[in-house]
Structure 1
Amino acid sequence: MTDKRLLIAVAVTEEGQISNHAGRAQRWQVFDVWPERPEPELIYTLELEESSVLHLWHTQTYPERHPLHFVDVAIVMTAGDGVIRRLGERGVQLVTTAELDPRVAVKAYLSDTLPEGPPHSEHTCGGEGHSHDHEDTAH
């Protein structure tokens, strides 16, 4: 599976499927992956307040450490370039996928067979407090 321990966060909906937008996801399942264990283990779920979703967090004047900054990999259906870049600056690899099942997605990521996610739609980025230009400001 992997040659080192990984923490992998997967954005999920209330129904338990992979969320369609990294920047707006409020719920993240975190899986612990160890080289000697055959199965990823779901160790906890992060529930973020609306003000702490990545879309808003990374556009703050002083975006201090976020709970997702401690994971190695984040998986979601779509993500904007800003979120991908900002997580990358904190050492988190964000990958997108068309897979809907979080556990299946983690296993596919580990076997390098994760299906690519659909293109990111800028129309889903809007919202209160989010009127910046995506080329100049991260989201």
Structure 2
Amino acid sequence: MKVAIATIEWKEVSGHAGKAQQWFVYDLAGHTPGGPLPEPARVTLTKEQTPHYIEDDNAPHPLDGVEVMIAGSAGDGFVRHMKKRGADVVLTGEPDPAVALTKLIAGEDLPDQRFDITTSLCKLRDFFSRH
């Protein structure tokens, strides 16, 4: 299973998944429960490649093949759009990407997402969205 985590400068979980340009991608295919996390691939997206802007045209994308995406916030349109591309979205208030992934793998509850005004704006945008 591949998990992508939206980040801010590779340090913390990004609060806005749709516009995140820096993503850790973990390939957990060989991971054993309780073992150390594998080293993530670092994927940097151009503005046009961010999930906020990509189309539903099934063109190849650097995050294709990811089954789970972790972020601090995302609008309903983003969640629906990623579902169409085969990925479930998990939102959390956990700022540390490795901690968030470790808790997810262990089946532990993740902290609720933090308040983010952009989420409210995204919900309004999503109301009129093509997604």
TM-score computed with the length of structure 2 as normaliser:
0.82
Query: How far apart, CA to CA, are the structure 2 residues paired with 1:62 and 1:36?
Result: 36
Query: How far apart, CA to CA, are the structure 2 residues paired with 1:86 and 1:112?
Result: 25
Aligned-CA RMSD value: 2.2
Query: How far apart, CA to CA, are the structure 1 residues paired with 2:88 and 2:81?
Result: 10
Aligned residue number for residue 113 of structure 2:
117
Query: How far apart, CA to CA, are the structure 1 residues paired with 2:128 and 2:42?
Result: 32
In structure 1, the residue corresponding to 2:90 is in which secondary structure? strand
Q: Is the 8 A contact 1:9 1:73 kept in 2?
A: yes
The CA deviation at 1:42 is: 2.3
Correspondence for 2:82 among 78, 81, 87: 87
Correspondence for 1:50 among 47, 52, 57: 47
Unaligned runs of 5+ in 2: none
Q: Write the deviation string for residues 68-98 of structure 1: whole angstroms up to 9, x where unpaired.
A: 2311111000001111111111221110100
Query: How far apart, CA to CA, are the structure 1 residues paired with 2:103 and 2:12?
Result: 15
TM-score computed with the length of structure 1 as normaliser:
0.78
CA distance 1:119–1:92, shift in 2 (3 Å): farther
Confirm or deny that 1:41 pairs with 2:38: yes
The CA deviation at 1:138 is: 4.6
Q: Write the deviation string for residues 20-63 of structure 1: whole angstroms up to 9, x where unpaired.
A: 10001000001122353622212310000111111011xx3735
CA distance 1:44–1:135, shift in 2 (3 Å): same
The CA deviation at 1:135 is: 2.1
Correspondence for 1:27 among 3, 22, 25: 22
Unaligned runs of 5+ in 1: 1-5, 126-131
1:100-115 aligned within 5 A: 100-113=95-108, 114-115=110-111
CA distance 1:90–1:36, shift in 2 (3 Å): same
Q: Is the 8 A contact 1:9 1:75 kept in 2?
A: yes
CA distance 1:26–1:80, shift in 2 (3 Å): same
